[in-house]
Amino acid sequence: MKAKIYALLTVTALAFTFTSPVAAKGTDEGPRKKTELTEEEVAAKLEEMRARVAEIKAMDKSELSKTERRALKKELREMNKQARAMGSGGVYLSVGAIIIIILVLILIL
């Protein structure tokens, strides 16, 4: 009985683990080429973004219209997303991996 439960839990955990990458893949944009940037290119791009942010901070925003302020906010958000994407890869765990970790911890303790 115990072996059946372990087998069922393993199959369930593996099912979640192997279906997560398929679900995470975006199908609406079609195939995209992944371009790898060198460290120098990344540093140059980040420096360009820093210069633009400093320029925006130095602006007198009180004279801007509402739509111009929105455009600046949108531009800053986009640059923030790009900087985070270029900065560090991070560690990502799928749902299946989290379930497996929890199950192992339960079995150990």
Tens of pLDDT, residue by residue over 30-89, are 555 556 777 788 888 888 989 999 998 898 888 889 999 999 999 999 988 888 877 766
Answer yes or no: is pLDDT of 19 > 60: no
- Provide the residue ranges of all domains of the chain, joining segments of one domain with +: 2-24+36-108
Full-model pTM: 0.46
Answer yes or no: is pLDDT of 11 > 70: yes
Angle between helices 39-58 and 66-87 (to 10 degrees): 150
How does DSSP assign 15-26, residue by residue? HHHHHHHHHHS-
